[in-house]
Amino acid sequence: MPSYSSKSLLQQLKTDVIDVLEAVQKNYAHLPENMLLMQPAAGKWSIAQALEHMNTYGRYYLLAIEKTIDKAALLNNKNTASFVPGWLGDYFTKMMLKPAKMKTPAKHIPPAKLNAKEVVEEFMEQQRYLLLLLSKAENIDLGKWRIAITLTKLIKLKLGDTFRFLIAHEQRHMIQIKNAAIALGENITYTIPAIHPAI
């Protein structure tokens, strides 16, 4: 497994989150409720549904990350210069590169009826929170501390891999949202990278 500079990894992840946040602010935050809730085709998620799907992950992972960072800080656990991904965390992250459809766990399936504006606001607030956590993680060992995944507490990912997976998951769904918006006639021109090669 390759080793990455912890500082460079966190900086790249921050850049990726900023790209996601700006894309939502510029392209979707201003859209009317009916556009955000309109499904581009039968069985396809609306923009709001895709954002709410990501919100369900954020509600779990952001709190879990914060608790882990706070615990590590109390124990004065310092970050190391390099980070080596775990094999499972690396696998989950790279799964996000695959265009194939994945089965969504039941608790992460968004309802069709949503308060779209609240969904968008929560998503943007989660991205700001994520940026703060990435900054706080600069002083934490990304490889020592682990976080259980949403499906089972028996599987835990390294803190660095948790960040990587969560952000890659967002990038994947930002592509889905862009395609939905284009199908609805919106002129969307931004590019969200699938996953930065350095991570």
Confidence category of residue 35, pLDDT binned at 50, 70, 90: very high
197 within some domain: no
Instruction: Say what the pTM is.
Output: 0.92
Question: Which residues 6+ apart lie within 8 Å of 153 measured at CB?
Answer: none
Residue 194 has pLDDT above 70, yes or no: no
pLDDT averaged over every residue in the chain: 90
Residue pLDDT, tens place only, 48-68: 999 999 999 999 999 999 999
Place of tokens 């960072």: 69
76 within some domain: yes
Residue pLDDT, tens place only, 55-106: 999 999 999 999 999 999 888 777 778 999 999 999 999 888 776 677 888 8
* Collapsed DSSP state (helix, strand, coil) of residue 72: helix
Residue 197 has pLDDT above 60, yes or no: no
Number of domains in the chain: 1
Handedness of CA 126, 13, 11, 162 (dihedral sign): positive
How far apart are alpha carbons 191 and 185 in whole angstroms? 17
How far apart are alpha carbons 183 and 41 in whole angstroms? 9
Find the helix packing angle between 159-183 and 6-27, rounded to 10°.
20
Angle at 191 between CA 190 and CA 192, to 5 degrees: 125
Q: What token pair was written down for 69?
A: 């960072």
- Structural domain including 124 reads 4-183
194 within some domain: no
Q: CATH number for the domain including 72?
A: 1.20.120.450
